[in-house]
Structure 1
Amino acid sequence: MANETVMKPMAMVILYGANEDGRETHSVDVFISRIRRKTERHAVTIETINRTGYRLVDRLQWAKTLKLDTSVAH
């Protein structure tokens, strides 16, 4: 799903099913935060799209978008 946006309501359905029981979308933010911590060492970037949702971004593509020098070894 790289570069495809997952909207917060869609994430709510995926996480909690069609019956969300009045849960706040903040629970999705917390869930994404936990996923980020677990995947960052694997070069997985999850970009937040303000008030909309999330998207997976390839780090090399992200660096090129920001016009960072990707030839420098860290």
Structure 2
Amino acid sequence: MHYFAIAPAECRLHHTGTQSCDSQTEVFGRDRVIDSFGNLHFGTFWGLTSQILYVFVGLAPLVLFLTGLMMWRYRYKEKNRQQ
């Protein structure tokens, strides 16, 4: 399955008027790499395991923000009590 559009054969027209084409094996290798980006983006490379991992990684910034806010509030309250 292709997530990005790639031509089956890549040919380029040079400024000299000549044309060069990549071999099919190079194109297929690039297709495989491009397809792996789609799997990585959507988290489907390990199936359900990678999707669960993505949920925890996605929630990590929220947890870090909340714990940092709690630590800051605790420190702020301690300063006000001492004054």
Query: How high is the TM-score relative to the length of structure 1?
Result: 0.34
Choose 1 or 2 for highest CA Rg.
2
Higher helix share: 2
Higher strand share: 1
Say which structure, 1 or 2, has more relative contact order (CA 8 Å, 6+ apart): 1
